[in-house]
Structure 1
Amino acid sequence: MKRTFSRQELYDLVWSTPIATLAKQFDISDRGLAKTCLRYHIPVPSRGYWAKIEAGQQPTKTPLWKLENPALEPVHIGGHKPAVNPYVAFATQKAAEAVEQSKVERKVERKQADTAKESSSKTPVVLEPVRRPHASISGLVTALRSAKADDHGEVSVPGIRIHKSSVTRVISVLHHLVIALESRNVVVDCSDKGIEAAVPPDDVRFEISESRSREQHKPTPAEQKKHDDHERRREAAQRRGQWLYPEKFWQEYDYIYSGKLTFEILNWADGARKRWGDGKHQSLESMLDAITDGVVFHLAYDKARREEREEQERRRQHMAHRRELHKKRQEREAKRLAFLRQLADYQKEAADLRATIAESGSSLQHAGPEYLKMIAWAEQRLAHLEAQNRIDVLTSHLVNENLFPDIDDLADPEGDPPPPKYSWGD
């Protein structure tokens, strides 16, 4: 059974066959098929629709909405993998190669330093507090330590949002991450925009956050007493015909911080992991190598995409230059033809004038003044034409117009460029 449909085709299918039955034909779950319909804005029958059909009723169908988004046509059911952009695939391959090279270099460094082998244990790694953080994050550390916590205990600076109790741990993670990145020739910079890791001119932004949950606040006895006292005062004021505004003595929700940190890269790269976090068996500290590889992957990906864009722009400019040369050669060719035509016209006109003047010689004794003036004008015109046809005059004109230069600046060693491709609507 085919797996690619138009929205109308899939709509007709789900309203003619129960989703559970249809899903089996596609070898996917009925929930998966329902999610696909939801993704493509295709309404599906309610649970009671087929019961009404079996009872002989004619329940109302929800109509298919018309959409203008071409991305929602066609619909792909399960297992379908759309074509990969070759430029994206190229960048992904280059990034993967860079990460693999980084891993090889790291293993060599560890071997040379006679360090212990990578532990296969799932015991979380604990880093000691850092007294003197790396210089590249010293400003961020100062801002983090001096940041004022909000009512929930959260401290926030560009690139970091955590509970105040996690400040020391985050500083330690950042310090060791910067050192690991520095060994891969990646520099870290902190600014008002956030935290960036860069191999100039390419950079990626990342942030560290702490997960939290929201719970309904349960007032303390002191808060409850303040509330009750205020309500009694309000009731007494109402009896006196006065109005006392209500007040809140506690916040509606409490935010409970889990202590679990998440490192997230904010750049986009196809096929790349972007997020690492504390888990049941692993801590952020134990994943510093993986995080470093992730940053290297994103940087290499961006570099490959940038270099490809630059190469495309270079090719575009090169082709534009070739087409401009071609245009100028065509214009020069038109001038050459015009020059030759004018030269031929002058020579033909001069020959005609010579013949006319020669034939008029026997008639001049009997000619009137108008005829004599015409012959005189013809002789002047002939002199002008002969002057235009002199080699020195022709050569001067050719040089001034640069029609046949010794060194041709308009020559294209690649020949004439192909015609430009136009898309519909151009």
Structure 2
Amino acid sequence: MIEREVLYREVWAEPMTKVGARYGTTATKLAKVCDQLDVPCPSSGYWVQLAHGTAPERPPLPALRPGAPAGCELVPTPPKPRSVAAEAERGASRIVVPEVIKALHPLLRDADARKRGRRDEDAGAHAAIHVSDALRDRGVRVMHVILTELDRRALHYAPLGSRERYGRRERESIAVEIEGESVRFYLFEWTRSAPLDPEAAKRAGDDRWKVPHAYLGDGRLRIRIEDGYSPPTWRDEEGRPVEQRLNAFIRGLYVAAESQRARRLAAEKRERAEREAQARREREAALQRHHEALVADAEQRVRALDFAVALRALAGRIEARGVGGERESAWSGWARRLAAQLDDQALSDLPDVVPNAASDADCRSRDS
């Protein structure tokens, strides 16, 4: 509990950021407490003006209003949770790719899977290395270091086959589970189609597509994370190969997991809002149907009562003539009995509207 007199002295003795830090809270929250206790606070430029001798006079502490609190309990602001991406920096050390690897990672020990055409489940992590033979050994060493780093961080991963996503076919990759999110990555090299005989292609002109072609790599190793429409990619640059960017890539895995989680939560929120809106529309439609049924039932009852009133009036007029015989008397008695039956039918078996009224109020409270 901090009293308003103490708070008044402290906020005018030093900046509110320092006062708030001492109480484990922020300057913004401290300003709200001062406003709640009717304690005047220095303006944003007060301390600069005070340093130059041009600060305005400190206003006096106003008297305590009747019923106003004389103090307030300052609850420390809890620290912000560490983001998933920040976890990547914890205990991080520079990742180095050795020139020679004595024992390959278990997912890379199948030497036959190094062949470019091997793309089955038995290929293990080799299936996620989409490079030419010239970069194959280098790609294997980089993948070995990456998988070893994932093991050091106790992250679960597994090779996955290709899949269709965002309207395009994704390559075979490694899926890493980070904070419940599955992040896929793979190594690759840009390739282009080039004629095996350039001179023959020139002579062919428009028919150069008939000349045998081959796919040639550009010689640059790349690592890509499948994350949305613009997947982050690390590649060889002049004077800085991809081996020197593996720390940034590992952090990118955590960033991608955080991004996927945000998108998933946003999608779940939209789906939940849509389900609630659909349920609300269904409740409103059900209420409307029930209301229309009530109106139709009420109209039928009103018609029955009006007819009963008309029958009694007609029977009364027949009886008032005073010339009634057996036929008139029998008809008058029948009309009064029928009117009584109509009264009973109109005033009995009334529909229950209480549950529907509660649902109607619930709909209005949700919409407000």
- Structure 1 partner of 2:294: 336
1:174 maps to: 143
Q: What's the CA shift for 1:291?
A: 1.1
Code of the aligned partner of 1:385: L
Q: Deviation per CA, 1:174-218, whole angstroms, max 9, x where unpaired?
A: 132124345667543223311133438744443323467969679
Q: Assess, with a 3 A threshold, how the Cα gap between structure 1 residues 373 and 326 changes in structure 2: closer, same or farther.
A: same
Question: What does residue 353 of structure 2 align with?
Answer: 403
Does residue 199 (structure 1) correspond to residue 168 (structure 2)? The answer is: no
Deviation sequence 1:36-66 (CA, Å, 0-9, x none): xxxxxxxxxxxxxxxxxxxxxxxxxxxxxxx
Q: In structure 2, do the counterparts of structure 1 residues 373 and 414 end up closer, same or farther at CA, with 3 Å as the change threshold?
A: closer
One-letter code of the match for 1:196?
A: I
In the alignment, structure 1 segments of 5+ residues that lack a partner are 1-95, 150-155, 219-250, 419-426
- Report the counterpart of residue 203 of structure 2 in structure 1: none
- In structure 2, relative to structure 1, the CA distance for the partners of 1:367 and 1:312 (3 Å cut) is same
Letter in 2 for 1:195: S
Q: Is the 8 A contact 1:197 1:295 kept in 2?
A: no
Matched residues in 2 for 1:256 and 1:351: separation? 99
Aligned-partner Cα distance in 2 for 1:331–1:356: 37
Displacement of 1:97 after TM fit? 5.4
TM score, norm. by length of structure 2: 0.55
d(CA) in 2 for partners of 1:217, 1:366: 123
1:2-401 equivalence runs, <5 A: 98-99=84-85, 101-105=86-90, 109-110=91-92, 118=94, 125-126=97-98, 128-129=100-101, 131-134=103-106, 137-138=107-108, 141=110, 144-145=113-114, 158-164=127-133, 166-181=135-150, 186-193=155-162, 194-199=172-177, 202-210=181-189, 260-268=220-228, 274-363=232-321, 366-367=324-325, 369=327, 371=328, 374-390=331-347, 393-394=348-349, 397-398=350-351
Q: Is the 8 A contact 1:160 1:207 kept in 2?
A: yes
CA distance in 2, matches of 1:256, 1:406: 72
SS at match of 1:405: helix
Alignment CA distance shift 1:268-1:183 (3 Å):
farther
1:85 aligned partner = none
CA distance in structure 1 between the partners assigned to 2:160 and 2:88 by the alignment: 29
Alpha carbons of 1:126 and 1:414: their partners in 2 closer, same or farther (altered >3 Å)? farther
- Give the share of equivalent positions with the same residue, in percent: 18
Structure 1 length as normaliser, TM-score? Answer: 0.49
Q: 1:381 to 1:186 in 2, by over 3 A?
A: farther
How far apart, in 1, do the equivalents of 2:97 and 2:141 lie? 12
Shift in Å, 1:143: 5.5
Deviations 1:318-355 (A, max 9, x none): 12212222222233333333434433333333233223
1:286-311 deviation line (CA, Å, top 9, x unaligned): 22111112232233222212221221
Contact kept, 8 Å, 2:84 with 2:255, in 1: the verdict is yes
Q: What is aligned with 2:44?
A: none
Q: Residue 284 of structure 2 contacts residue 363 of structure 2 at CA under 8 Å; is this kept in 1?
A: no
Q: Give, in angstroms, the shift of residue 385 of structure 1.
A: 0.8
Contact 1:188 1:198 in 2 (8 A): yes
Indicate if the aligned counterparts of 1:178 and 1:187 stay in contact, CA closer than 8 A: no
Q: Which runs of 5+ in 2 are unaligned?
A: 1-81, 119-124, 163-171, 199-210
